[in-house]
Chain A
Amino acid sequence: DAKTTQPPSMDCAEGRAANLPCNHSTISGNEYVYWYRQIHSQGPQYIIHGLKNNETNEMASLIITEDRKSSTLILPHATLRDTAVYYCIVRSAMAGGYQKVTFGTGTKLQVIP
């Protein structure tokens, strides 16, 4: 499984953009980059995923470098409710076409008033 590297923690001022980096230098050509977040005492929540192109949805934007060895999750206007642990995951394929998601330790984002 491709491994990911994330900073253990980051701070962001409320209302500013939060840029969360992730390195995945061993990613394979058909593996997707996923982002989940986990707010305290809740289960993880899907945010966004991408393969090669940049992606945007109502929650965030995902920027993937051309060589696909790193990516950045952008929360454009962070709020206090965005305080959470953010997991960058490379989704690997198993035999039979099944997908496997392996969580690392993530980045703890603290949004500061």
Chain B
Amino acid sequence: EAGVAQSPRYKIIEKRQSVAFWCNPISGHATLYWYQQILGQGPKLLIQFQNNGVVDDSQLPKDRFSAERLKGVDSTLKIQPAKLEDSAVYLCASSLGAGAYEQYFGPGTRLTVT
């Protein structure tokens, strides 16, 4: 079974630039999550999708971050414009459903904002 795929794996941008991350969840998984993990901290949930609808985006900085999951499969997370404090690893995870026990995580995208 293929795991959660993410790209790119690494990205370096200057502040005020834009960046987008892509996630392809495990086939058949209805729920998709985006997390932000700052160095030395645990992952923080940014947004949770159930199919193509948003379940929770309470911790998403909506003035600069946006995410979509148009066909209920792949998802993109965008930052525009980036700030220095956005430097982090962005993790995508998926699960069979919102009530599923296990989330499967991708390898993450490491973003450095200079």
Q: Give A residues with C-beta under 8 Å from B.
A: 32, 34, 41-46, 49, 85, 87, 94, 96-106
Contacts and interface: CB of A to CB of B under 8 A. Distances in A.
Given A32-B101, A100-B45, 17 more contacts: A42-B107, A44-B43, A44-B105, A46-B101, A46-B102, A46-B104, A87-B42, A94-B56, A96-B55, A97-B99, A98-B50, A101-B103, A102-B45, A103-B35, A103-B44, A104-B42, A106-B42
B41 A43 contact: no
Q: Is the interface of B mostly helix, strand, loop or mixed?
A: loop
A105 B38 CA distance: 11
29 contacts: A32-B101, A41-B107, A42-B105, A42-B107, A42-B108, A43-B91, A43-B105, A43-B106, A43-B107, A44-B91, A44-B93, A45-B105, A46-B104, A49-B101, A94-B55, A94-B56, A96-B55, A97-B98, A97-B99, A98-B48, A98-B50, A98-B55, A98-B98, A99-B98, A99-B99, A100-B48, A101-B103, A103-B44, A105-B40
